[in-house]
Amino acid sequence: MKPETKQFRSKAAQTLANKSVLQSLDHVYTGFHEGRLSAAADTPNWEELRTKGKAIKDHTIAHLDYYLGLLADNVEKSGGHVFFANDAEEARLHIVKLARARDVKTVIKSKSMVSEEMALADALIGQGIEAVETDLGEYIIQLAGETPYHLIAPAIHKSRKEVAALLNDDFSEGDPVPDPTELTMSARAKLRGVFERADMSVTGVNFAIAESGSIALVTNEGNGRMSTSVPRIHVAVMGMEKIIPSIQDLSTMLRILIRSATGQRITAYITMINGPRKPEEEEGPEEFHLVIMNNGRDKLLADPQMRESLNCIRCGACLNACPVYRKVGGHAYGWVYPGPIGAIVSPVMTGLKDAHDLPNASSLCGACHEVCPVKINIPRMLLELRWRTAEGKVDPDDRASSVKERVIWKAWRMGMMGRRRFDLGARLSRLLMRPISKRGWIRKAPPPISGWTSTRDFPLVASKSLKERLAAREKHGRAKPGQTNRDRP
Ligand code: SF4
């Protein structure tokens, strides 16, 4: 998928103007976030589990080369094939080539953000191969010709009416809108035939277990299990960080993933795959392929300040808790991964130069850090990326792009370094602001600070500093009953 991170502001503005999408986005808070809170409260050792989850991921990422080697050996021992792809193109070409070599006519896809990175469905369709998403949300998105809006709820922004129009060719404006069960049954009927004729499936991987060479898939629809048992070839795709050492670790990771993602205690399906069908087994694919993709993850790994982001288990809890995501929506982030974690991984994986607005799309309230099941300190990394932008570290060939920002922050730092400078700066600001203010407020600031007043008024700098006010208060004594702050010096 081609990054469109540069368009963050315009896409965010589009969402802010769309009431129906904003209403849908409220559901991620009232549904997923509140569900997560209740699931966490009902789990007595919740904090212990989070600490354990973080320790498992810290350890695995610190020994990633060892565990990836162990995983590949064990997948091959089980009769599977492993392919390491350095980037999305390599991975995509490998899968397309495999499909053509095996004369595949239909591919069914189960939800996978890594396959979105590869734009795999379009590549297969471009080769004349039918490629159909089978997760309901992904299917809706595919019909709409869009990309996922949320890590676990790809079509969260679509209204019931929009879904009805996408699923039912005969649906027209004014028709009664079917209920969600009816809509699901209609999608199910359409997908059933596709499952039956599919010769290959492509699924994601929630966790790959190094010691056994297994992959674990967590789903709430039957499509994951159908995809891994009906077609003759199964291709699982994963980012190289989606690995854990052992089955014991899986037990911890499943508990924190499921509760954090949907607020459920357990999902409807947990599917474990160990290579292709064995001679004594009645069902399962004849071939199993595991594609392990880098695609810029090595940049995160090589960066001590950003490495922690590889601990992400893609639960989506930080999106649900984020007040900014719930207003700007998933498409504003311009690449596969939206929300607070997307504001870190997208700039590093696709380039901070175009994506430098993303780390600024945060109030730094810390809600993402608080909810993350593996305790990723997202605000720390957002600040680090902001600092890199302000210091002109965005792109060594294009330092000019951040000159304005650096000048502003340097001036701010100088002003904050001493009391006198601060007071002088405040007086100067008030003097400069006064001609453009009205009754103590600025409604339209000039560039380069015009963005501040595009959606709200900006107050004029106070005539007296807090220090001066306190000194005056000491001098004149405390307020008398009935006297307001405005009446006081
Ligand atoms: S950063 Fe944490 S909360 Fe956000 S998706 Fe990843 S694991 Fe979940």
313 lines ligand 1 (CB under 6 A): yes
What is the tens place of the pLDDT at every residue in 211-269? 999 999 999 998 999 999 999 999 999 999 999 999 999 999 999 999 999 999 999 99
Cis link prior to 447 (omega < 30° from 0)? no
- pLDDT beyond 80 at 405: no
Instruction: Name the band, by pLDDT with cuts 50, 70 and 90, for residue 57.
Output: very high
258 lines ligand 1 (CB under 6 A): no
Which protein residue has the closest C-alpha to ligand 1 atom 2? 372
314 lines ligand 1 (CB under 6 A): yes
What is the tens place of the pLDDT at every residue in 266-287? 999 999 999 999 999 988 999 9
- In the reported structure, the alpha carbon of residue 368 is separated from the centroid of ligand 1 by a whole-number distance in angstroms of 8
Query: Across residues 302-327, what is the average pLDDT?
Result: 97
- pLDDT beyond 60 at 401: no
- pLDDT beyond 70 at 486: no
52-61, 168-177, 296-305: which range is least confident on average?
Answer: 168-177
Query: Across residues 149-178, what is the average pLDDT?
Result: 89
CB 244 within 8 A of CB 250: yes
- In the reported structure, the alpha carbon of residue 236 is separated from the centroid of ligand 1 by a whole-number distance in angstroms of 22
Instruction: Name the band, by pLDDT with cuts 50, 70 and 90, for residue 489.
Output: very low
Query: Across residues 469-478, what is the average pLDDT?
Result: 82
- In the reported structure, the alpha carbon of residue 6 is separated from the centroid of ligand 1 by a whole-number distance in angstroms of 23
Mutate to test the pocket of ligand 1, among 307, 341, 368 (most ligand atoms within 8 A of CB): 341
State the chain's mean pLDDT as an integer: 92
Token pair of 461, please?
């700098």
- In the reported structure, the alpha carbon of residue 342 is separated from the centroid of ligand 1 by a whole-number distance in angstroms of 10
- pLDDT beyond 80 at 116: yes
- Who has greater pLDDT, 233 or 475? 233
- In the reported structure, the alpha carbon of residue 221 is separated from the centroid of ligand 1 by a whole-number distance in angstroms of 22
CATH number of this structure's domain 43-298: 3.40.50.10420
Residue 80: left (phi > 0), alpha (psi -120 to 50), or beta?
A: beta
| Domain 305-403 in this protein, CATH class | mainly alpha
The pTM of the full predicted model, rounded to 2 decimals, is 0.88
159-168, 211-220, 333-342, 474-483: which range is least confident on average?
Answer: 474-483
Instruction: Name the band, by pLDDT with cuts 50, 70 and 90, for residue 478.
Output: low
Instruction: Name the band, by pLDDT with cuts 50, 70 and 90, for residue 175.
Output: confident
What is the tens place of the pLDDT at every residue in 89-108? 999 999 999 999 999 999 99
> Is the fold of 43-298 the same as that of 305-403?
no
What is the tens place of the pLDDT at every residue in 121-137? 999 999 999 999 999 99
SS (H, E, C) the chain: CCCCHHHHHHHHHHHHCCHHHHHHHHHHHHHHHHHHHHHHHCCCCHHHHHHHHHHHHHHHHHCHHHHHHHHHHHHHHCCCEEEEECCHHHHHHHHHHHHHHCCCCEEEECCCHHHHHHCHHHHHHHCCCEEEECCHHHHHHHHHCCCCCCCCCCCCCCCHHHHHHHHCCCCCCCCCCCCHHHHHHHHHHHHHHHHHHCCEEEECCCEEECCCCEEEEEECCCHHHHHHHCCCEEEEEEECCCEECCHHHHHHHHHHHHHHHHCCCCCCEEEEECCCCCCCCCCCCCEEEEEEECCCHHHHHHCCCCHHHHHCCCCCHHHHHCCCHHHHCCHHHCCCCCHHHHHHHHHHHHCHHHHCCHHHCCCCCCHHHHHCCCCCCHHHHHHHHHHHHHCCCCCCCCHHHHHHHHHHHHHHHHHHCCHHHHHHHHHHHHHHHHHHEECCEECCCCCCCHHHHCCCCEECCCCCCHHHHHHHHHHHCCCCCCCCHHHCC
Which protein residue has the closest C-alpha to ligand 1 atom 6? 312
- pLDDT beyond 50 at 399: yes
Predicted pLDDT of residue 402: 62
Q: Give the residue extent of every domain in the chain.
A: 43-298, 305-403, 433-487
What is the tens place of the pLDDT at every residue in 407-454? 877 888 888 999 889 888 888 988 988 999 998 899 988 877 787 888
Predicted pLDDT of residue 27: 86
